[in-house]
Structure 1
Amino acid sequence: MNTATDSLLTDVLGNRHAPAPDARIVCLVPSITELLCDLGLAGQLVGRTGFCIHPRDVVAAIPKVGGTKAVNIEKIRKLAPTHVVVNIDENEKPTVEKLAEFVPHIVVTHPNAPRDNLHLARLMGGIFGAEDAAARWCADFEAEYAALQALPKAPARTVLYCIWQDPWMTVSKDTYIASMLAELGWRVPDLGADRYPRFAWSQERVDGLDAVLLSTEPYRFTETHADALEKQLGIPVFLVDGEMMSWYGSRALAGLRYLRTVRDMVEGTG
């Protein structure tokens, strides 16, 4: 294996994977299940989580193996996969360690910024025999990214991106979501070392914010939540599509386009 190919087939933990075009794949990451399907690999998927819902008509025929956290180990064992695709944020380490006891290959992912999608697509395509489809996907991504970068620069903003309430939770600057916002020149406030910190509303918290973004997932925020919070805080609050903002893989293409919509909402030009 040459150096370039070796790099393409290395996952986030440095594990090197050989090409396996006949692999039996269980994917425990919803956004990557969608990517595998879009790369033409649905026929090799033998298991998915209940949260792997896209593309709906394709995944309906793929057996469910629990959730991203509540994984049914015995169901996976019976499916006899050669590869399980996991993610550092989505899946718990003890679960992955149990799977490694009987699954020959665990592919670990952790995209942390939009351009990490390029390696993700090449990794999936390279391991599972879809190099050409991955190359086409990467070309489409580069085009969308270039279009985003070509937009006139908007003013720098500080926005609080909320993913949960009771307790309220947000994202730290080292998350994929924060990196998406950074493509617009926006920053999220530093609330400590946790990747998804809890917080309480206060005047001090509100001061310095240009806007609050309420995500439609994992908590199902609605326009009603946004309207009520805006009245409470006295600053602009917007509802945003959580899949577009946080799903890497296939949805990242639409996500880059969606960033323009979010910018226009906040800037008042949409």
Structure 2
Amino acid sequence: MKVVSLVPSITEALFDLGLTEHEIVGRTKFCIHPEEKVKNVTIIGGTKNINIDKIKALQPDLILANKEENIKEQVEALMDDFKVIVTNVENIEDNYYLLKNLGKIFNKEDRAQLFNLKIYEVLNEAKVNSDIKVAYLIWKNPYMTVGSDTFIHKILAEIGFENIFKDKTRYPEIQTEDLAKADIIMLSSEPFPFKEKHIEELKEFYPDKKIMIVDGEAFSWYGTHIAKCENYFKEFISEVRSAKI
């Protein structure tokens, strides 16, 4: 079966489940994992600007898309000629069924179940067992955060954090003063590449708060990615616990 993936985390999951470059024939430029394998797969544009002609030339048997990451009109255009599955992953339960379904489609059910079990184990071990109030920033100029209907929010809640913007939806713009109630301000490494200098900028407003860079992939990439973040989450939780909150 020839597959085109329009979603970075799904591309990674397909390789993790055991598919090869001969089966995954197309991917977006943001599909970067696993690096040594995706480099051999044809790039068909970005997640928001798919090159439909390139996809048609590949003649895939199946295209995998995502409700949030891809443009509806572009996906619908592909449906005229190809079988397209549109995924929608908002929480850990959705992720469980995503992997289960991918396992069923590609006859990799046992491997999919192993990844699902590992994800539950990783998140269970990462619990902070307290209601530490956090703000998770994904963008700068303007600052943007995450609302309650996002996968990132669900991961934060799963670990035991309280998102101070849980009354918001999607990715709202906020002001610096809106961060006042947070015990910890988390600056994601993606999509905006927050660096140490951005910590210093916020420290001018909140010198006593814990402000830290976090691995955006660990919090936002669904599929199999969290299963491989065990060591990261252990170090992350250790740093949180050592903070004087």
Report the TM-score, using the length of structure 1 for normalisation.
0.83
Q: 2:182 — aligned with what?
A: 209
Alignment counterpart, residue 222 of structure 1, candidates 195, 200, 207: 195
Map 1:120-131 to 2 at 5 A.
Answer: 120-131=98-109
**Secondary structure of residue in 2 paired with 1:51:** coil
2:112 counterpart of 1:139: no
Find the aligned partners of 1:113 and 1:177 in 2 and give their Cα distance. Answer: 8
| Percentage of identical aligned residues | 36
Q: 1:13 — aligned with what?
A: none
- Residue range with higher mean Cα deviation, 113-122 or 190-199: 190-199
Report the TM-score, using the length of structure 2 for normalisation.
0.91
Q: 2:242 — aligned with what?
A: 268
2:49 counterpart of 1:76: no
**Alpha-carbon offset, residue 155 of structure 1:** 2.3
Find the aligned partners of 1:79 and 1:64 in 2 and give their Cα distance. Answer: 11
Q: 1:12 — aligned with what?
A: none
Contact 1:184/1:259, CA 8 A, preserved across alignment: no
Q: 2:24 — aligned with what?
A: 45
2:150 counterpart of 1:171: no
1:230-255: per-residue Cα shift (whole Å, max 9, x none)?
A: 23323221100111111111211134
2:224 counterpart of 1:245: no
Find the aligned partners of 1:174 and 1:255 in 2 and give their Cα distance. Answer: 23
Contact 1:27/1:48, CA 8 A, preserved across alignment: yes
Contact 2:62/2:85, CA 8 A, preserved across alignment: yes
Contact 1:211/1:237, CA 8 A, preserved across alignment: yes
Contact 2:179/2:185, CA 8 A, preserved across alignment: no
Map 1:58-207 to 2 at 5 A.
Answer: 58-103=37-82, 105-148=83-126, 153-190=128-165, 193-202=168-177, 205-207=178-180
**Secondary structure of residue in 2 paired with 1:78:** helix
Contact 1:245/1:255, CA 8 A, preserved across alignment: no
The root-mean-square deviation of aligned C-alpha atoms, in Å, is 2.0
**Alpha-carbon offset, residue 86 of structure 1:** 0.8
**Secondary structure of residue in 2 paired with 1:183:** helix
Change in Cα spacing, 1:134 to 1:154, as seen in structure 2 (3 Å) is closer
**Secondary structure of residue in 1 paired with 2:68:** coil
Contact 1:25/1:44, CA 8 A, preserved across alignment: yes
Number of corresponding residues: 242
Contact 1:114/1:252, CA 8 A, preserved across alignment: no
**Alpha-carbon offset, residue 186 of structure 1:** 1.1
Q: 1:28 — aligned with what?
A: 6
2:233 counterpart of 1:233: no
Contact 1:34/1:52, CA 8 A, preserved across alignment: yes
**Alpha-carbon offset, residue 182 of structure 1:** 0.6
Contact 2:149/2:169, CA 8 A, preserved across alignment: no
Contact 1:160/1:211, CA 8 A, preserved across alignment: yes
Find the aligned partners of 1:132 and 1:97 in 2 and give their Cα distance. Answer: 32
1:6-65: per-residue Cα shift (whole Å, max 9, x none)?
A: xxxxxxxxxxxxxxxxx2110011011001001111231110000001001111111000
Contact 1:27/1:33, CA 8 A, preserved across alignment: yes
Find the aligned partners of 1:176 and 1:211 in 2 and give their Cα distance. Answer: 19
User: Any unmatched runs of 5+ in structure 2?
Assistant: none
User: Any unmatched runs of 5+ in structure 1?
Assistant: 1-22
What code does the residue aligned with 1:70 have? N
